[in-house]
Structure 1
């Protein structure tokens, strides 16, 4: 199996207001997010790729247009957790590229959430 991945970055605010008032994530705050999309294929296409990285620019455009420097509570359905964002970006990407196998989202350099069906 061949696997490739590409990383994207954006900054946004959010608030997990369903958490107790004394929880730090209940307060308005922001992160510099990292999104990694993973694609896999058993064989390579005629150009020798799983998929041309250039084609993944559509995900960058989607993130830039809809998530970068936004308040995520206004953008996403449900809690704006890294787990929900990983699923959201997975569904968006899988609808465009059949080779997508997973998406990871990081809020900090030490934390990652992944959606992999």
Structure 2
């Protein structure tokens, strides 16, 4: 199996208001997010790629337009946890690139959430 991945960055605020008031994530705060999309294929295409990295540019455009410097509570239908964001980006990516195998989202350099069906 061949795998490729590409990393995208954005900054945004959010608030997990369903949590108890004394939970740090219940307060309005922000993160510098990292999103990594992974694509996999058993065989390479005629150009020798799983997919050309340049074809992933629409994800950058989508993130920049819909998520960067936004309040995620106004953007996301589900609570804006890293887990829900990973699933959201996975669904968006797999609809465009069937080779999408996973998406990871980081809120801090030490934490990651991943959605992989």
Asked whether the two chains share a fold, i.e. TM above 0.5, the reply is yes
CA deviation vs aligned residue, 1:61-92 (integer Å, no higher than 9, x gap): 00000000000000001100000000000000
Give TM-score scaled by structure 1 length. Answer: 1.00
In structure 2, list runs of 5 or more residues that go unmatched. Answer: none
In structure 1, list runs of 5 or more residues that go unmatched. Answer: none
What stretches of structure 1 move > 6 A for 4+ residues in a row?
none
1:103 corresponds to: 103
2:86 corresponds to: 86
Deviation at 1:47, TM superposition (A): 0.4
Say whether residues 1:53 and 2:59 are aligned partners: no
C-alpha RMSD of the superposition: 0.3
Whole-angstrom CA distance in 2 between matches of 1:41 and 1:116: 15
Give TM-score scaled by structure 2 length. Answer: 1.00
